[in-house]
Structure 1
Amino acid sequence: MNIERIRQPFIKKFPGDFSGNLIQRNTPKVLFATISPAGFDHPKLIAFNKTLSEEIGLGAFEEKDLDFLVGNRLPENIQTYATAYAGHQFGNWAGQLGDGRAILAGEIENDLGKKTELQWKGAGATPYSRHADGRAVLRSSVREYLMSEAMYHLGVPTTRALSLAFTGEDVIRDIMYNGNPQLEKGAVVIRTAESFLRFGHFELMSAQGEYKTLQELVDFTIENYFPEVTSSGIQRYKDFFENVCTRTANLAVEWFRVGFVHGVMNTDNMSILGLTIDYGPYSMMDEYDLNFTPNTTDLPGRRYAFGKQGQIAQWNLWQLANALHPLIKDEKFLEDTLNHFGTRFWKSHDTMLCAKFGFDELLKDDEDFFTNWQGLMQELQLDYTLFFNYLEKSTSTADVKDFFNRVSYSLLNDEKLKKLEDFLTTYNSRLSLNTVSREQSLAIMKKTNPKFTLRNYLLYECIEEISIGKTSMLEKLTDALENPYEERHPEFSAKRPNSYDDITGCSTLSCSS
């Protein structure tokens, strides 16, 4: 890899702390603190994303590049750093936070002029680690590496992953926070994004009254990442906020489309660019449940449940609006923009559902159709991805029993069978209102509904294999996730086995996951 192409990102544009001190502390009135990766004596590469490396301008991997991938070797003239931000966590103001186990390696520009930031995750403590060690364990690193790439190939805005490596050291973690810490294998991921700026970066400057720096940060963000904003004065900041709202709404709709549950939608985990960021206690949907949360820390309130993600996106945008108010200075504009967010979001959401069902346009009665479908999905415990896969293959009531057995996690009985049969009849009636052919309808469904989603039990199996030095599962999952709209691996197109229902780190996850 040509790591000498990596250059210093926006560090010099904003106030920062150049002490390089590892002591965990507050760093008021600054946006970053310089820090170097910890360094590891016995790293070992697990996976490298060749395609991404070529795309961003790094080129092919060589053995000597492993030292860069784990932070042992840095490009010349680069000062690595961690950023400070604030945030609301589970609805409560948490004050200053920051990159606790992420260190920005720099920025690279490819031959087409596209810029990409690179960031180590798990390469050691920073001033924002809050007395933690800044390391990452294998399970969380595999989950981030694979799922961020899976989301990219599904067409969902996301950060991406360049590499995954063992650090050669063990890390102590209490996975369920229940007083049972254990040694686990350590790992480092390099993740990439156009920018890692979060809602929390803007919240921090506003909360500290650093309005000049806040304005400079917004101006920098617009100039580099929001070319659609061309206005000036206060209107410039209004247009910026509206665009952030649009990107955030579109992201949440995409999560609903593929059945992704983020699990911890704190404002510090919200990308200002509308990317999926911070893959922690997430899950792809197995049986459909609007109240499902994969995060044990989110119980019993289920604030970040699947069905609430649009609502929480709006709540988070309210907090961003408060942070940007010193620049926008127009309460009515902010209130009107956010009060209309729900209307726009649900129209986009229902339009997305139309595509999943193969409808060519949204009709007046479709809201009732979708509501009845949601009730059916939950009552019959139908698998979200498999339901639409089998809906593409057959809408006939003649094979409804086979349909049920393939997609339901509940036991078959005559009442349930009748409800599914009635739904398929209603669905066929609704399909008849299309103005396109059935072939065109199926084409809409096939490009909207993935054949493969990266379920937690598959990740669990993959992590178990990698931990003992095997990579066959990793290779198969990588092939499947890179082609999610094709049935490349039919063994993955099946319901979650019952044996995984109560496995820690599979069906139940914590913020440590």
Structure 2
Amino acid sequence: MSNIPIFAVILLVPGRSLTSTSSRCLNISQRFPVFLAKYSFGTFTQCLKMKSLSEWSFSQPNLLTHFNIDPVKENYVRRVTGCVFSRVTPTHLKSEMQLVSVSQDVLENVLDLDPREEKNPSFANFLAGNQLLPGSEPLAHRYGGYQFGYWAGQLGDGRAITIGEYVNSKGNRWELQLKGAGKTPYSRNGDGRAVLRSSIREFLCSEAMDALGIPTSRAAAVVVSKDMVVRDQFYNGRMKYEPAAVVLRLAPTWFRIGSLEILAKEQEKLNLKKVVDFTIEHYMPAGEKENYVKFFETVVEQSSALVAKWMAHGFTHGVLNTDNMSLLSITIDYGPFGFLDSYNPSFVPNHSDDEGRYSYLNQPKIFKWNLACLAEALQPLLSAEEQEQTAAIINRFDEIYQEHFMSIFRQKLGLSRPAKDEVRLIQLLLDTMQQRGADFTQTFRQLGDIHLDNIELNEEHWALHSVSTHRRFSEFISLYQASLKETETTEEERQRIMNSVNPRYVLRNWMAESAIRQAEKGDFHLTNLLLKVLRKPYEKDDEAEALGFSKPPPDWACSLRVSCSS
């Protein structure tokens, strides 16, 4: 036995069957020596973990065993009290369904599913909620929240249904949700459905944000049906029929600030304590059990890091209500979001945000406001001394955020370490970009492609052209070169750092809109192309270049409007 290769040892363990997943791995080559020559141990073991849909099942649920469940089993809209979740059943889509797009990364590396399962007819039924897999325990979460600064009372999962929890081969637990799966007790006046346009946007942006290194929920796939729902997209009385769609999305947990707020407002202290203790036990650093001040401090630290990353990539969420802000400081609930085209700090992607509360520039301030709401929700669990401590942490938010902001923007300019004039350097560039209306993403990207000691711009440097003609551009370059010299950053190192953090492609609204218009005609090619490109945002892609993804946005992009309607 000692002379048998390690791969053979694994396969010849007594009692181990060579059927099912293992046999699918062997199908790569019918001859074992060829398989050994071509595939590494890591590839082989990963292949062993792949499951077919018939083999796949949900894990033992944590949520059902830890929290009070609504005793009312009937699924009708109502005010719910005394619980954290309600049992629900997804509403079946009745007409023909089509699979729009699938994230292979989520399927393989999160869900351990064989990628070939997307061709299985049962896969679309699973995505639609028409077929529940073993271990599924569908739940809708009860939460509240402040919307545009005003307490909105009970909100909850009005069209998202958590269908179960899965612990993957890496030991990570994920909660799977179907967004658009039908009515729940929290649907208010809605029908519980989502439409194709919003589903494609959430699917693509979730996966794009993950590829950019921004903490986020994930999206596995989108399915669309010929079931039609009525929507007033811009709330102007112009109703139209749109196809119903469902997104399978995932997060370690969907608990949000609003999860605690509703319990504090309703004086349900025991349920409040259960949610906080559960979050600390499962998702916070070790040694924080029942340390609510430390928990709050961690959320503040991680949230300030998150919004700094948003700002660094020009991302604007659009609806930063407290019910849309995760306790794990990940990006959730993609609605009327937008990435900056030209650098405009007042950019507002949400058609409904008339006052600009959730503009790009306001996001750090709104994070701070929302975190103060979280501190208020925690008060029933805190002593007077601990309440003072949380207030002190809130007062430090600006300082914490600024540290994260500077760390990221330092990298965006390729500085290997802090420089004494870095704040002035960054502000000078941003001011120049704003005054020239320069493209946010491409200005940084193109700045990393040129040599500062011999600046030569061509047509590929279209974003830099307008900046370079500004009267203060030479001042910026001089300060920039001085900072690089101070930090002992070589030109090669500067370019390497910049091109590793400044993407070539982001999900601009015009790109998403182009994919949506095509998809509404039954053609999903552009959706899948965008997914491919956005999963590798730092790498040049020929198809993306041909479609102008790194070029100036088309003129019609300026007229695009996005709303909360889905």
1:112 aligns with 2:155: no
Corresponding residue for residue 113 of structure 2: 59
**Equivalents in 1 of 2:315, 2:443: separation in Å?**
15
Contact residue 84 and residue 271 of structure 2 kept, 8 A: no
Contact residue 100 and residue 125 of structure 1 kept, 8 A: yes
**Equivalents in 1 of 2:208, 2:144: separation in Å?**
29
Pairwise CA distance, 1:512:
1.2
Corresponding residue for residue 238 of structure 2: 180
Change (3 A) 1:82 1:493: same
Q: How many residues align?
A: 502
1:230 aligns with 2:284: no
Q: How is 1:249-264 mapped onto 2 (pairs within 5 angstroms)?
A: 249-264=304-319
Pairwise CA distance, 1:189:
0.4
Pairwise CA distance, 1:422:
4.1
Corresponding residue for residue 11 of structure 1: 64
**Equivalents in 1 of 2:534, 2:227: separation in Å?**
29
Q: How is 1:267-306 mapped onto 2 (pairs within 5 angstroms)?
A: 267-299=322-354, 301-306=355-360
Q: How is 1:72-471 mapped onto 2 (pairs within 5 angstroms)?
A: 72-226=130-284, 228-232=285-289, 236-299=291-354, 301-329=355-383, 330-396=386-452, 402=458, 406-407=462-463, 416-471=469-524
Contact residue 297 and residue 390 of structure 2 kept, 8 A: no
| Aligned residue type for 1:294 | P
**Equivalents in 1 of 2:79, 2:361: separation in Å?**
36
Contact residue 145 and residue 153 of structure 2 kept, 8 A: yes
Contact residue 385 and residue 450 of structure 1 kept, 8 A: yes
Corresponding residue for residue 26 of structure 1: 79
**Equivalents in 1 of 2:395, 2:503: separation in Å?**
32
Pairwise CA distance, 1:9:
4.0
Corresponding residue for residue 512 of structure 1: 565
Corresponding residue for residue 37 of structure 2: none
Three-state SS of the structure 1 residue aligned to 2:184 is coil
Contact residue 162 and residue 191 of structure 1 kept, 8 A: yes
**Equivalents in 2 of 1:390, 1:36: separation in Å?**
50
Three-state SS of the structure 1 residue aligned to 2:486 is coil
Three-state SS of the structure 2 residue aligned to 1:45 is strand
User: Which structure has the larger Rg?
Assistant: 2
| Aligned residue type for 2:485 | S
Pairwise CA distance, 1:238:
1.1
**Equivalents in 2 of 1:161, 1:57: separation in Å?**
11
Q: CA offsets per residue over residues 193-231 of structure 1, 9 Å max, x none? A: 1111111111111111111111111111111111x1404
Structure 2: give runs of 5+ residues left out of the alignment: 1-52
| Aligned residue type for 2:300 | C
Contact residue 5 and residue 58 of structure 1 kept, 8 A: no
TM-score by length of 1: 0.93
Structure 1: give runs of 5+ residues left out of the alignment: none
**Equivalents in 1 of 2:349, 2:456: separation in Å?**
30
Corresponding residue for residue 525 of structure 2: 472
**Equivalents in 2 of 1:469, 1:176: separation in Å?**
24
**Equivalents in 2 of 1:374, 1:466: separation in Å?**
37
Contact residue 217 and residue 332 of structure 2 kept, 8 A: yes
1:497 aligns with 2:562: no
Pairwise CA distance, 1:407:
1.2
